[in-house]
Amino acid sequence: DVKVTQSSRYLVKRTGEKVFLECVQDMDHENMFWYRQDPGLGLRLIYFSYDVKMKEKGDIPEGYSVSREKKERFSLILESASTNQTSMYLCASRPQPSSKNIQYFGAGTRLSVL
Amino acid sequence: AQSVAQPEDQVNVAEGNPLTVKCTYSVSGNPYLFWYVQYPNRGLQFLLKYITGDNLVKGSYGFEAEFNKSQTSFHLKKPSALVSDSALYFCAVRNYGQNFVFGPGTRLSVLP
């Protein structure tokens, strides 16, 4: 089975802190994604990566950055956390060729910024 | 631009009754359509997908969905609901070369 692991289930941070959310997948997938999930808004794509050291902005990249130094790991970085970044964050991965393939999700990290 | 609508925030159904969770989409070209389910404090799990072929797609846990091109819909159905089906359901669409677009989600409550 594909496993996508997010390092933390719950995080509490203070405004202005730098926050790292880590995601690791064990199936050698090329594509990785970060979403945030908010009630009534569904999942919104923050950033994605098609390969090591590659990154592309999604629909809501402002206030976030990402790092993909190794194929299996995709990190989401909040440079200076703000209260409006309180949310559930979901990581996903997907193999190539990607057109018909599904995404596999981690369990999520619920981040609270105080 | 791609978009997905799930017109119902909440669906309530009695255990043993059939259930339907609605999804309509807008996409240029041929759509790839997906349903995911999210149980409390969990990530999303894949249920089923439509790529091409038969309009009726069968998936996990007894769920199925019907692709209707003329109505641009992809409603999720199950003949007999279980209490354990209570969860948040997301419809998603993509076409070739594009990323997923997810709907806002529908919370299904199956009452015993």
Q: What is the pLDDT of residues A32-51, one digit of tens each?
A: 999 999 988 889 999 999 98
pLDDT at A96 over 90: no
Across all residues in chain B, what is the average pLDDT?
A: 92
Question: Does residue B43 or residue B87 have the better pLDDT?
Answer: B87
Q: What are B28's two structure tokens?
A: 């240029």
Question: Is A100 in contact with B51 (Cβ distance < 8 A)?
Answer: yes
User: How confident is the model over A63-94, as pLDDT tens digits?
Assistant: 999 999 999 999 999 999 999 999 999 999 99
List alpha helices for chain A, DSSP H.
Answer: none
Query: Do B25 and B71 form a contact (C-beta atoms < 8 A)?
Result: no
Question: Which has the higher per-residue pLDDT, B98 or B78?
Answer: B78
pLDDT score at B30: 82
pLDDT, average across residues B105-109: 96
Residue B105 has pLDDT above 90, yes or no: yes
Are A108 and B46 inside 8 Å of each other by CB? no
Determine if residue B41 is left, alpha or beta; phi over 0 gives left, psi from -120 to 50 gives alpha, anything else beta: left
Cβ-based contacts of B102 with chain A (< 8 Å): 35, 42-44
Residues 26-85 of B with CB under 8 A from A: 32, 34, 36, 41-46, 49, 51
